[in-house]
């Protein structure tokens, strides 16, 4: 009885979120795309009356020379900059506070992120902290950003997170290592630059993992109970672009067209899940990342086919539509077979991209805790097509922890 009551409360709450997504204004960033996108973004910042920006990035981007290039482009158009380059994977509250201190000391007027999801998420929270006089911990949650953040601009160097368009930023508690989302429509950046020239140096494994992250965003958004005609269009566009370009981007990293198309796919997938939300794949991937430091895109890639298998009985029709869109089956194939074809497509893509199908580092004594934390995250956040219970989640995690390949 208790489980049934919770189930219906969950469904009612998710319906409320769906209505809120339609009612709350969620802006889209101005998008610059192509080889001159970075220059166009810098020019756009300069004509907004912003004299100094904080560039938020990581040491990898600094070593590639991209942070210096960005600072030069800003100086060229009369905008000064300070650089905070100590962002680590899964940025913590401490890193946000450190960047915020530089923002205030240097009297910056805007924030520009360049890098993958971690610098972008960190930058978005720094921008929120710059105008909201409260610690990062109190920004965590839904609609806690009361005042509009400082002007925020992003330049992704990976194609996966979709952070350039989302209403969320994920930062970690340095004590518990738990990933905590800051979620508010005000976090959407003013503008984003998708410059394929900044992605050409991305290693093949990272290209594959971030591409699978984008694919997961699109698929989870499409089978979400909160999907709409609008989010379906974005999800289908993302999935089509990924199908046509991910393998090329992995095998031929200097293919600028494939890189640009993957960046656009990530953007579309971000638009899709911003309103339709995500599901159990992300809940489990976030938990694995917090517990073991498992790269997020890699975790998504491994977990995705298992969650699709679990969800198939409830999401069969939508999975069948995706199968048809990818030309995996013909119009006469039964939906059950179409849905299974989508799962096999994901598994085949895993192998093609040389990604693992299991994780050796998951310890069996942690499975109960991992399942509990995953379900806790999903409980009031994700409008999943099929509700998962503790025992089912444990079984799924044990399946990806198997030692056999």
- Candidate CATH numbers 3.30.1700.10, 3.40.50.1970, 3.40.50.720, 3.40.50.2000; the one for domain 26-198: 3.40.50.1970
Determine what percent of the chain is predicted with pLDDT higher than 70: 93
Cα–Cα dist 248/245, whole Å: 5
Sheet of 110-115: strand order equals 30-33, 191-194, 152-156, 110-115, 52-56, 80-84
CA angle centred on 282, ends 229 and 2, rounded to 5°: 90
348's CB contacts (< 8 A; 6+ apart) are none
Model confidence pLDDT, tens digit, residues 91-130: 999 999 999 999 999 999 999 999 999 999 999 999 999 9
Q: Across the strands, what pairs with 248?
A: none
Cα–Cα dist 186/90, whole Å: 21
Q: What is the pLDDT of residue 226?
A: 92
The residues spanned by each domain of the chain are: 26-198, 203-400
198's CB contacts (< 8 A; 6+ apart) are 38, 66, 114, 155, 157
How would residue 381 be classed by pLDDT, with cut points 50, 70 and 90? Answer: confident
Burial of 9 (0-12, 13-18, 19+ CB in 10 A): exposed
Cα–Cα dist 377/283, whole Å: 6
Cα–Cα dist 357/401, whole Å: 9
Instruction: Report if pTM > 0.85.
Output: yes
Q: Look at residue 233 and tell me whether its pLDDT is greater than 50.
A: yes
Q: Please, are residues 12 and 398 in contact by the beta-carbon 8 Å criterion?
A: no
Question: Rounded to a whole number, what is the largest CA-CA distance in the chain?
Answer: 66
Same fold, 26-198 and 203-400: no
Number of residues written out for the chain: 405
Average pLDDT over residues 249-259: 96
Q: Please, are residues 126 and 100 in contact by the beta-carbon 8 Å criterion?
A: yes
* Two structure tokens written together for 200: 């050409």
Q: Which fold has domain 203-400?
A: Dehydroquinate synthase-like, alpha domain (1.20.1090)
Q: Look at residue 295 and tell me whether its pLDDT is greater than 60.
A: yes
How would residue 404 be classed by pLDDT, with cut points 50, 70 and 90? Answer: very low
Q: Please, are residues 210 and 159 in contact by the beta-carbon 8 Å criterion?
A: yes
Q: Which residue has the higher pLDDT, 1 or 65?
A: 65
Average pLDDT over residues 307-316: 97
């Amino acid at each position: 009885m208790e489980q049934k009551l919770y189930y219906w409360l969950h469904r009612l709450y998710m319906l409320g979120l769906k209505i809120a997504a339609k009612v709350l204004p969620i802006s889209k960033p101005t998008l610059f795309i192509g080889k001159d996108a970075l220059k166009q973004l810098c020019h756009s910042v300069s004509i907004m009356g912003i004299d100094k920006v904080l560039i938020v990035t990581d040491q990898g981007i600094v070593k590639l020379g991209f942070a210096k290039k960005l600072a030069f482009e800003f100086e060229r158009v009369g905008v000064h900059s300070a650089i905070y380059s100590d962002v680590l994977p899964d940025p913590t509250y401490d890193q946000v506070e450190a960047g915020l201190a530089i923002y205030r000391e240097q009297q910056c007027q805007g924030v520009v992120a360049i890098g993958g999801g971690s610098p972008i998420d960190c930058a978005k929270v720094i921008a929120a902290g710059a105008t909201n006089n409260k610690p990062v911990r109190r920004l965590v949650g839904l609609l806690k950003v009361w005042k509009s953040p400082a002007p925020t601009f992003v330049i992704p160097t990976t194609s996966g997170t979709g952070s350039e368009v989302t209403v969320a930023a994920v930062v970690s508690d340095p004590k518990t290592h738990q990933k905590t989302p800051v979620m508010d429509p005000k976090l959407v950046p003013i503008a984003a630059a998708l410059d394929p020239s900044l992605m050409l140096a991305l290693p093949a494994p990272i290209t594959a993992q971030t591409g699978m992250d984008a694919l997961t965003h699109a698929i989870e958004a499409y089978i979400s109970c909160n999907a709409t005609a609008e989010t379906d269009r974005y999800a289908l566009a993302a999935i089509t672009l990924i199908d046509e370009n991910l393998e090329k981007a992995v095998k031929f990293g200097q293919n600028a067209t494939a890189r640009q198309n993957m960046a656009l796919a990530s953007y579309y997938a971000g638009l899709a899940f911003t309103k339709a939300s995500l599901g159990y794949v992300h809940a489990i991937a976030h938990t694995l990342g917090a517990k073991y430091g498992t790269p997020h895109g890699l975790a998504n890639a491994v977990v995705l086919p298992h969650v699709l298998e679990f969800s198939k009985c409830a999401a069969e029709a939508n999975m069948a539509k995706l199968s048809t869109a990818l030309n995996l089956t013909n119009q006469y194939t039964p939906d059950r077979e179409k849905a299974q074809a989508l799962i096999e497509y994901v598994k085949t893509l895993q192998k093609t991209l040389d990604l693992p199908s299991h994780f050796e580092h998951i310890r069996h004594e942690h499975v109960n805790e991992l399942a509990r934390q995953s379900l806790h995250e999903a409980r009031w956040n994700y409008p999943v097509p099929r509700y998962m219970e503790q025992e089912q989640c444990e079984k799924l995690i044990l399946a990806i922890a198997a030692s056999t390949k």
